[in-house]
Amino acid sequence: MPIEHLPSLTEIKPEATLWRYLDLSKYLALLTSNGLWFSRGDLLGDPFEGSTTEAARKELHGRVARAWGEEGADITSTLLSGLHEGMVRWVYVSCWHQSDWESAAMWQLYKAGHGLALRTTAGRLSESLNGPQRIVIGPVTYTDYRDGFVPTGHMALPFLHKRRSYEYENEVRAIIVDPPPFLHDPPEVQTTRLPDIQRGLERKFAAGGPPGHLVRVNLMSLVEEVRIDPHAPGWFAEVVREATKRLGFDFVVNQSDLLDERVY
């Protein structure tokens, strides 16, 4: 799969450790499908997904105004605003947590009790993806949306920025931009009247794409280790090991050491 590298992104080192926290049902789905689920942007749970900031909007308006004048900038800004708002239903995301260590907070937030986590690296994630879509992989930048800046120039960029309230996630994302076919229509089939264009964007964007994409991966290349929730009972770890083996994988499965015996 072609991995798209955006020069505006902070570079993530291939050896950076990534974690994916999930429950048993999603783990089994991963093994049986040999695929990673990329969820549609508007289904991720954050209403700010795909949005930008006032500073970014003004900067874009100024650039267009210098090239095409104020009238052209007004029209373009309106169209791009509608385009960005609609694209939240046509962008797909796989979310990972970057850390050298397990996160007690992530265990509690996601799958406390009967969950598990996949451990991999950014390099392994990039190498294991296999499919027709172009994918952007990069770390999320956390900013203040009241006076911060979210760069434009690629539809994936707004999805690589989140509010500072989410900094604890320390997230790395793999992103598929899958625009609807009508965006590839030749100019001659597009109306030149702004209200019609706006209504057309609203109508065509409204439904959105499918709720997600399943992207085939090489799981043996992707997964370095499976870590079991520290609060899970012993039998749960054995269930995970047996299910992993029966489905043809020999991942290392270890219980989390966050609750190891204390020393005073």
> Is residue 190 scored above 50 in pLDDT?
no
- What is the model's pTM? 0.84
The predicted-structure confidence for 82-140, as pLDDT tens digits, reads as follows: 677 778 888 999 999 999 999 988 998 876 668 999 999 999 999 898 666 789 999 99
Q: Which two tokens stand for residue 74?
A: 């007004």
The predicted-structure confidence for 153-180, as pLDDT tens digits, reads as follows: 788 899 999 999 999 999 999 999 887 7
- By three-state DSSP, how is residue 234 classified? helix
The predicted-structure confidence for 8-62, as pLDDT tens digits, reads as follows: 566 789 999 999 999 999 999 999 999 999 999 999 999 999 888 877 777 776 7
Kindly give the residue spans of alpha helices, DSSP state H, lying in 88-116.
104-110
If you ran DSSP here, which 8-state letter would residue 186 be given? -
Label the pairing between strands 17-23 and 161-163.
unpaired
Q: Which residues pair with 120 in a beta bridge?
A: 18
Tokens 């019609």 belong to residue: 196
123, 15 contact by CB (below 8 A): yes
Provide the pLDDT confidence category of residue 191 given band limits of 50, 70 and 90.
very low
Q: Which two tokens stand for residue 129?
A: 């993806």
How far apart are the C-alpha atoms of 216 and 222, rounded to whole Å? 11
133, 35 contact by CB (below 8 A): no
Q: Which two tokens stand for residue 85?
A: 């708002």
